[in-house]
Homo-oligomer: A and B are copies of this chain.
Amino acid sequence: MKFIPVKGTRDFYPEAMRMRNWIADAWRSASLRNGFEEYDSPIFEYLDLFTAKSGDEIASQLFNLTDRGGRNLAIRPEITPSLARMVNAKINALPRPIKWFSIPRLCRAERPQKGRLREFFQWNVDIIGPQDELADAECVLTAVDAMRELGLTSNDVQVCYSSRELLSEVLESLGVKGQSSADVMAVLDKRNKLPAEKFEAMLSDAVGDKTAMAGILKFLDTGAIDPDASPAEIAASAGIAPSENATAAIAKLQAFGGYLKAFGIADWCRYDTGIVRGLAYYTGIVYEVMDVGETLRAIAGGGRYDNLLEVLGGPAVAASGFGMGDVVLGILLEEKQLIGDLAQGVELFVIDGSADMFSDVINVVGRLRSVGAAAEFSYKRQNIGKQLKQADRRGACKAVILEPDGVVMIKDLASGEQTACKLAEILSDPTTIL
């Protein structure tokens, strides 16, 4: 009988767990520093919550189960629907802006491949309330802040952003509507993952009309957005019909760019018309964090989703946020060799000078731990030299060697320096040797 983990899931042995905690700690401290509060939802929800809005891609990736009453449940593939449900349930009691984060475990029944597993952790950061692009920019700042803490720089990653609103408007002005518009967006979403030729062929199939195709290609070629030009001028240079909606979307992109600059993170970010985002619920600015080499999947993705709370039965309240998974980020951190030695040693390793003093060892260990010190000992009765080696392997700072006649030697394992004290002293006040 041999048991194995399910394909696409991970066993976190201590070393892998330290890495996972190191990433989660950076996410958590960046969140708190940026003024977000932590929340969490159950690991499963009624199935409806997930099928009500996310679009087919996610619905096809659900792990389904039933409760004792036979009702359909699913393990959460993302936390945003649960967030919307929770916020809707207390919408009048929660002071706005609602700035929340979470680090949920998520499961998707996908085919496992590089950077994509069936079970992963995803940092979610959301601001609910403000319509201002300031909220989008603050979410991006929070993402950058965590990546900075993990050692990444703007030479490693870029936040590539665009406007879903502007793209919709451009497609509409070119006569690409309804299902055709959705198909075109699905192809655009694959742009960075496909060879140019294949991309153009797929796009041409989805668009149909040649004039529309040319218009889309011209729009995709738009470079950086000039913060000082008028929206109408920018529309003209990108070949966009200067409708009210189009100029409004351009003005929002300009405002967003201004906030990124004021937050000091303009060099981490760039306008990129190729960003669409798969999920159906985005309504405004959208973005993906990409490695600069663009050899990996997106490290994070997010944007504005002003309709979701209402779609899930709540009032019309604006919202914006992103998710950053641990898998692709972990690959990048490894590639960039940013993972240091995460092993955490104990402070003290207590050693017996002879086996008959072992009950004193246990006694000292108990006292040390009771005052908050990390103290360890050897389960095996062996000579001092072997116990010292074990202390070293456990990364101990000091060895506490109990010698006969109530004498204790404290040995600094880095410097080798030794000091002596009495066992009775340590037992009466163990803090004296910390």
Contact = CB atoms under 8 A, between A and B. Distances in A.
A264 B313 contact: no
A39 B88 CA distance: 35
Given A44-B107, A129-B379, A14 B85 contact: no
Contacts of A145: 369-370
A43, A45, A376, most chain B CB atoms within 10 A = A43
Contacts of A12: 38-41
Interface residues of A, number: 93
A186 B103 CA distance: 40
B379 A132 contact: yes
Interface of A: 1-7, 9-14, 17-18, 20-21, 32-35, 37-46, 48-49, 52, 63-65, 67-68, 71, 73, 75, 81-82, 85-86, 88-90, 95-97, 100, 105, 107, 109, 111, 118-119, 129-130, 132, 134-135, 141, 145, 148, 258-259, 262-265, 312-313, 344, 346, 359, 362-363, 365-367, 369-370, 372-376, 379, 393-394
A48 to B, nearest CB: 7
Contacts of A89: 4, 11
28 contacts: A3-B45, A3-B46, A3-B49, A3-B81, A5-B41, A6-B45, A6-B46, A6-B71, A6-B73, A7-B67, A11-B42, A14-B38, A14-B39, A20-B40, A32-B374, A33-B369, A33-B372, A34-B374, A35-B376, A43-B107, A44-B119, A63-B73, A64-B65, A65-B75, A68-B111, A105-B105, A148-B370, A262-B366
Contacts of A135: 379
Leading 4 A-B pairs by shortest Cβ distance: A9-B42, A263-B366, A14-B37, A262-B362
A43 B43 contact: yes
A120 B413 CA distance: 42
B5 A42 contact: yes
Contact of A17 (B1, B38, B95, B373): B38
A15 to B, nearest CB: 9
Contacts of A367: 264
A171 B42 CA distance: 43
